[in-house]
A = this chain, B = another copy of it.
């Protein structure tokens, strides 16, 4: 299903897409995957999502072929975007663009995306203005914009995101973890 009653009878590609990624939380889980989050507990602290729902969404994304589950140690798994999952990048990017245009804090954008190869910021359509290409998700670097705000939320994942890094690469949570004097919700 997707949203209670599935949209099966909708002969429309948008409905098809929503069947796969339209459930509550699903898009945010995928967003976190792009940001480099891979472990259950990291999704948990970053999303404030009920554990049962997270379990459910991860399972579903795995069976849909968006994520791959891999045990990095007995009983511990991490979740990685598959090629299919990565193909969602244009959707994520357009959502982020729109969200920032419509509701950016006064301070400015929260996150900036750049073409990693040349360092140029992407335009609204996801195109690198210098190279004239739409970079693959693996070639995008993300960094906090002027509107980013640690006061709003301060968990180890959010802190780690304050260092620029390539999308899809695992976050460096070690230092962020040790910096943590208190783990504020």
Which residue numbers of A lie inside 8 Å of B, CB to CB? 3-4, 7, 9-18, 20, 22, 24-25, 27-28, 31, 47-48, 84, 87-88, 90-92, 94-104, 109-111, 124-127, 134, 148-149, 152-153, 158
Q: A11-B158, A94-B91, A152-B9 are in contact. Are A3 and B17 (CB under 8 A)?
A: no
Picked from B14, B149, B158, the residue with its CB within 8 Å of the CB of A96 is B14
Beyond A12-B31, A90-B98, 17 additional contacts (C-beta under 8 Å) are: A11-B158, A13-B104, A13-B111, A14-B95, A14-B96, A15-B99, A17-B95, A18-B27, A18-B95, A20-B102, A84-B102, A87-B102, A88-B98, A90-B97, A90-B124, A91-B91, A91-B95
Q: A88-B98, A94-B94 are in contact. Are A110 and B11 (CB under 8 A)?
A: yes
What are 19 sample pairs from A and B whose C-beta atoms fall under 8 A apart? A3-B25, A7-B28, A9-B153, A11-B149, A11-B153, A11-B158, A12-B28, A12-B110, A13-B95, A13-B99, A13-B109, A14-B27, A14-B28, A14-B99, A17-B95, A18-B95, A84-B102, A91-B91, A125-B134
Query: What CA separation (Å) do A82 and B148 show in the bound complex?
Result: 29
Query: What CA separation (Å) do A22 and B16 show in the bound complex?
Result: 15
What is the count of identical protomers in the complex?
A: 2
Query: What CA separation (Å) do A127 and B124 show in the bound complex?
Result: 12
